[in-house]
Amino acid sequence: MLKRALGKSGLEVTTIGLGCMGMSRSYGSTDREACLSLLREAADAGINFFDTAEVYGPFDNEELLGEALAEVRAKVLIATKFGFQIDPTRKPSVTGLNSRPEHIRKTCEASLKRLRTDVIDLFYQHRVDPAVPIEDVAGAVADLIKEGKVRHFGLSEAGASTIRRAHAVQPVTAVQSEYSLWEREPEAAIFSTLEELGIGFVAYSPLGRGFLTGAVNLETTFEAGDARNANPRFAAENRKQNIALVEAVSAIATERGVTSSQLAIAWVLAQKPWIVPIPGTKRSERLRENMAAAQIQLTADELGRIAELIQSFVIVGNRYAPSAMAMLDK
């Protein structure tokens, strides 16, 4: 696999990483043994960047990665996240945000145990906590870095002002936010700040939660418990309009001789040399398909056509339900 540097931090990761959330939550039923096998396959195939979080499950996803990657730990980089208050005795188990320094330390220790490691390569604040100054958050992670328990500090779904304030206390290695052909807000909101400060960008959901693959149509239904059932962009009335973008992207992909998924990932890679997408999957064939996108170099003409295309479409519906939208930092 080709590699990219996440900004100027010195952290080099494979051009495409693996988002692991769907192996434990949000996208229907999972087979633990199959997921263990897929994680090992990804590492054997050359992927060295794996993304998880304590809240995925909760806790199950970190434990899954800890077991799957134990034998190759020295060869891979694991990113995980803190920032939620979790009560495993109730459902739903997430009761709010919590980025108090003492909670960050507690979360770090628990994540280290679940991941079966002595250091976290990249430790993100999962969502900005308005009750805790970001300077205190950055300071807490800085202490963990000094102690050798964390290597790099990251933020997820943070706005430009928050990024600057955090970076002034502890250099931010990467910001992770949703970014794809149908979610381009980071271009206007934070890309210039990241470029100025030398911070990398990790794009989650580069395939639009499966929508941009072309596998979702007007008749598609999702399992009970699948988060897309509550996602406004997947609602029947919005899907009718949004699917037109997928059809247009698919036509360009067919011309190029690649899949819609590969075109979508290649487009993300073409935007900036410091962007790393982390598409998720539970299937071996999809893993290989996504990895192959790293080899696709879109031409200036193709990028121009795609730019005109996405400018001509209006995506309908927020990317999260209202409660989750309220947690996004601006």
Give pLDDT tens digits for 66-86: 999 999 999 999 999 999 999
Residues tagged active-site: 56
Full residue range of the structural domain in which residue 140 is found: 3-207+271-296
pLDDT value for 91: 82
- Establish if 184 belongs to a structural domain: yes
Q: Which of 2, 24, 23, 27 is nearest to 12 (CA)?
A: 2
- Establish if 195 belongs to a structural domain: yes
Cα-based distances in Å from 223 to 28, 30, 237, 279: 6, 11, 19, 20
Number of domains in the chain: 1
Residue type, 319: R
pLDDT value for 25: 87
Q: What CATH code is carried by the domain that includes residue 174?
A: 3.20.20.100
- Establish if 244 belongs to a structural domain: no
**Using CA of residue 62, residue 71, residue 148, residue 4, what is the dihedral sign?**
negative
86, two tokens: 């979790």
- Establish if 178 belongs to a structural domain: yes
Return the SS3 of 149. coil
- Establish if 229 belongs to a structural domain: no
Return the SS3 of 168. helix
- Establish if 321 belongs to a structural domain: no
- Establish if 266 belongs to a structural domain: no
- Establish if 309 belongs to a structural domain: no
Give the predicted TM-score (pTM) of the model: 0.98
Query: How far is 124 from 175, CA to CA, in rounded Å?
Result: 8
Residue-wise pLDDT for 20-63, tens only, equals 999 998 898 899 999 999 999 999 999 999 999 999 999 999 99
